[in-house]
């Protein structure tokens, strides 16, 4: 059994985040010790790691709850869970494309500035009237 502090260290999340997830019902199977402190099993820790991965993928708390509810259904909900994960994957791919476009913009802007500094092109501004 693990205490909150142990789980935070094992999963690299803050105490406040773990407490929030517990209060939101996202860690439904954890128990409490005789002093009413939360304690967690290895299964709880693995579940929390999964939650953190879903959150890192951009899944909302609401969707994480839906996903958890589907997990409680068991085998019969696997297709629904796959749909949720596919949507999350598609969202991530769109985000990757936006990041690529942003990097391209920055690279182009850096090249423009390098060309200005090297005297290859003349300075022009969209903000300053000549």
Does 18 map to a domain?
A: yes
Does 45 map to a domain?
A: yes
Does 9 map to a domain?
A: yes
**How many structural domains does the chain have?**
1
Per-residue pLDDT of the chain in tens (130 residues, 90 and over written 9): 999 999 999 999 999 999 999 999 999 989 999 999 999 999 999 999 999 999 999 999 999 999 999 999 999 999 999 999 999 999 999 999 999 999 999 999 999 999 999 999 998 888 888 7
Domain CATH number, residue 14 = 1.10.1660.10
Does 68 map to a domain?
A: no
Q: Which domain holds residue 52?
A: 1-56
Q: What is the pLDDT of residue 128?
A: 87
Q: What is the pLDDT of residue 25?
A: 93
Q: What is the pLDDT of residue 62?
A: 95
CA dihedral of 69, 65, 59, 6, whole degrees rounded to 10? -110
Q: Is 130 exposed, middle or buried (0-12, 13-18, 19+ CB in 10 A)?
A: exposed
């Amino acid at each position: 059994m693990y205490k909150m502090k142990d789980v935070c260290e094992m999963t690299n999340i803050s105490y406040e985040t773990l407490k929030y997830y517990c209060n939101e019902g996202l860690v439904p199977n954890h128990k409490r010790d005789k002093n009413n402190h939360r304690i967690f099993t290895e299964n709880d820790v693995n579940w929390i790691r999964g939650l953190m991965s879903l959150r890192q993928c951009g899944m909302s708390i609401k969707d994480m709850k839906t996903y958890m509810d589907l997990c409680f259904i068991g085998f019969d909900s696997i297709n629904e869970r796959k749909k949720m994960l596919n949507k999350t994957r598609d969202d991530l791919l769109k985000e990757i494309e936006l990041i690529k476009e942003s990097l391209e913009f920055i690279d182009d802007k850096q090249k423009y500035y390098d060309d200005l500094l090297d005297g290859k092109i003349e300075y022009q501004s969209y903000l300053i009237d000549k």
